[in-house]
Each structure stands twice: as structure tokens, then as C-alpha cells.
């Protein structure tokens, strides 16, 4: 049986716990701008999920195991139940935690993801291959890395996001995420094998980008089937990175979620 790993986490503030869960190739720091205003009246936790950021590497990316990682973090931090905010892969971790450990979830905001299997293997395979092909030995700076990635990853925002994982240690550049493990686990990350119904007592909001294809008609039907108590909302004109593309609108929805009657 795969064991949980101790997650690296940044914490701030005091009050009801809010745990932010990032997406693939991300880290807890992706949420800093969104989470910073909450520190006045919430205890904010920004963990790095396994194989991301400064957290340990492990061969298994099954969502049940990743949810167990978060539960172990909550145990270590003395949190009985938390409010979860998860984007993409982190949203699936939040769903898995709600299903497997409902007593530990006060409420959940799931961002631009649905309880379905996706088929983005070609896209993610291309991104990982581009990172693996980067000549880290010849790099002088991040601008060199950005120029090398440009042909395979033409979108500047995506390149800059990937390059948050490039670090310099003891004079040498390298990737802090285990690219081989992520490549091996892509099918697991994209899958959604959990079929049990969610507890109707857990308040949930699914918030998606109006211009994103991650929550389509099939996704909405799956949400309504497995999480019938949830509400589904969207922010018009926004793509998959909802909180990065529309931080003000997202912040307003987040405040509404945290201060709704069901979440207090």
C-alpha cells in the first residue's frame, strides 16, 4: 500500500483553515496572490502536492493517495476539518478528499475541473518532452531557457508557468519536479476512477472558466450525478487558469464561498 508523503507547506493567518491545492506542474506558491488577503481572518495553507514544489517525490499519483497526503498534513497541523480550494489536478484531490474523508472537509471550491477522465495526453506529453529536452547544462539564465522552450511551447504564459520549476542549485540548473514520474503517471492524473456518491451534507461549488473546455456538458452532468448538492458557476471569457486570468473576479467568488452561510 502506498504511504502518504509529508507535504511542504506555507502557512499564514489565524482562523478557519483554508487549504489551497494547485494543479499539474504548479506549487502552493501559485495561490499566494489570491490567498494573501484571507490571512486577516483565516488560517491559510499553501501545500506543494507530491512530486511538485519542495514536496517529496513518489511513484504513485493516485488521487486517493494524494488525498491521504492532505489528510496527513491536516493531522500534522491540528486541523479537524478544512475549507478546500483546488484547481485542476488539485480540484480532483479536493473531490477525492471529500469522497474518502468527508468528515475532514468543511466545504470545497473546485476550480475548472470535473469528475471525469480527460484525454490531454498529447498536450502534456509535448510539454514534458520539451522540459526534458532543455539543455540545462548550457543555460546561463532563465531567458536562455525561455528561448529554448519557445519552439515547442509557443504560449509565453505557459512557458513562464513551467519555468517556475526550473531552479539553480550549487551552480547547476535543473528541474525540481520529477519529469519521468509525471510522464509515467499522466494517465493516472487524467483519470477519475472514483464512483462513490458524495455526502450531500458537504457544501461544494464548481467554478469554471467560461472559455475553458474542461467543464463541458459531459462534465456538468458528471458533477450533478456524483456531487448533486454542488452548485456550478462560471466566469465569462476566462480560460483554464481562472484565478490567474481573472484574479479580481475569482477573489470575489472565493470571498462569497468562504463567507456563505454553508461555509461558516
* Catalytic residue numbers, as ranges: 88, 240
Inter-residue contact 230 to 257 (CB < 8 Å): no
Q: Angle at CA 30, nearest 5°, toward 26 and 35?
A: 145
Paired sense of beta strands 43-47 and 17-21, if any: parallel
Q: Which residue has the cell 519555468?
A: 163
Q: Contact at 8 Å (CB) between 208 and 216?
A: no
Residue pair 124/24 in contact by the 8 Å Cβ criterion? yes
What does the block give as the cell for 192? 477519475
Main-chain dihedrals φ then ψ at residue 122, nearest 5 degrees: -65, -45
- Alpha-carbon gap, residue 113 to 254, rounded angstroms: 16
Amino acid at each position: 500500500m502506498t504511504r502518504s508523503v509529508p507535504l511542504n507547506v506555507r502557512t499564514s493567518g489565524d482562523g478557519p483553515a483554508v487549504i489551497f491545492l494547485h494543479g499539474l506542474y504548479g506549487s502552493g506558491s501559485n495561490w499566494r496572490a489570491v490567498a494573501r488577503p484571507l490571512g486577516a481572518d483565516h488560517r491559510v495553507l499553501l501545500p506543494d502536492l507530491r512530486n511538485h514544489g519542495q514536496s517529496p517525490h513518489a511513484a504513485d499519483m493516485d488521487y486517493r493517495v494524494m488525498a491521504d497526503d492532505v489528510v496527513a498534513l491536516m493531522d500534522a497541523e491540528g486541523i479537524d476539518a478544512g475549507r478546500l480550494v483546488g484547481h485542476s489536478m488539485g480540484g480532483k484531490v479536493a473531490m477525492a478528499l471529500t469522497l474518502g474523508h468527508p468528515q475532514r472537509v468543511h466545504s470545497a471550491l473546485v476550480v475548472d475541473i470535473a469528475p471525469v477522465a480527460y484525454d490531454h495526453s498529447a498536450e502534456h506529453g509535448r510539454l514534458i518532452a520539451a522540459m526534458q529536452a532543455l539543455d540545462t547544462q548550457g543555460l546561463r539564465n532563465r531567458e536562455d531557457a525561455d528561448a529554448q522552450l519557445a519552439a515547442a511551447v509557443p504560449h509565453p504564459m505557459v512557458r513562464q508557468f513551467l519555468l517556475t520549476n526550473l531552479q539553480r542549485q550549487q551552480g547547476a540548473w535543473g528541474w525540481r519536479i520529477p519529469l519521468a514520474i509525471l510522464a509515467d503517471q499522466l494517465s493516472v492524473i487524467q483519470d477519475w476512477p472514483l464512483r462513490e456518491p458524495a455526502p450531500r451534507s458537504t457544501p461544494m461549488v464548481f467554478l469554471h472558466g467560461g472559455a475553458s473546455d474542461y467543464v463541458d456538458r459531459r462534465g456538468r452532468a458528471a458533477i450533478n450525478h456524483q456531487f448533486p448538492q454542488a452548485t456550478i458557476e462560471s466566469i465569462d471569457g476566462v480560460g483554464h487558469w481562472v484565478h490567474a486570468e481573472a484574479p479580481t473576479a475569482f477573489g470575489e467568488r472565493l470571498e462569497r464561498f468562504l463567507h456563505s452561510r454553508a461555509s461558516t
